Amino acid sequence: MPVESDAELAEILEYDHVAVVGCSSTPGKDAHDVPQYLLDHGYDVIPVNPYADEIFGRAAYDSLADVDEQVDVVDVFRPSEEVAGIVDEAIARDDVQVVWTQLGIKDDDAARRAEDAGLRVVQDKCIKVEHGRLRA
């Protein structure tokens, strides 16, 4: 069952290393402004975007599987139909604790697989909104 309680969301927001799959290099897009907000609030944001070389002055990785840094939370800014593959990559890693899909992004089957693999899942919520509500 995806995380819904404020207590669990607040606990998840204590993780430091957030890989943003679908991170955008274009200011004004949510996939840019939300990770920028996370950076501004002390998170280690790891951009994942195969069409960018660098975002926020950091190397952008082509896929979650390519990330060679620690990842606690995978924040997904990709269409719902791409979530299953991202979850597969998250499950294959030994460091991911949480898969978080942004507003409007949901895949219940992938969420169940992630939970069965021991990951916590947040679906259809904005990490910036939840941070502002619970931690700011």
The runs of H, that is alpha helices, within the chain are 6-12, 30-40, 83-92, 108-116, 127-134
List the chain domain ranges. Answer: 6-134
Q: State yes or no: pLDDT of 92 exceeds 90.
A: yes
Q: What is the mean pLDDT of residues 88-105?
A: 98
For 6-134, give the CATH class: alpha beta
- Whether residue 94 is predicted with pLDDT greater than 90 in this model: the reply is yes
- Cβ proximity of 130 and 105 under 8 Å: no
What's the pTM value of the predicted model, to 2 decimals?
0.97
**Range 8-26 burial, b when 16+ CB lie within 10 A, else e:** ebeebbebebbbbbbbbbe
Please give the average per-residue pLDDT across 79-85, as a whole number.
98
Q: How many residues does the chain have?
A: 136
pLDDT, tens digit, for every residue of 14-45?
Answer: 999 999 999 999 999 999 999 999 999 999 99
Note the pLDDT of residue 130.
98
The predicted pLDDT at position 43 comes to 98
Confidence (pLDDT) at 128: 98
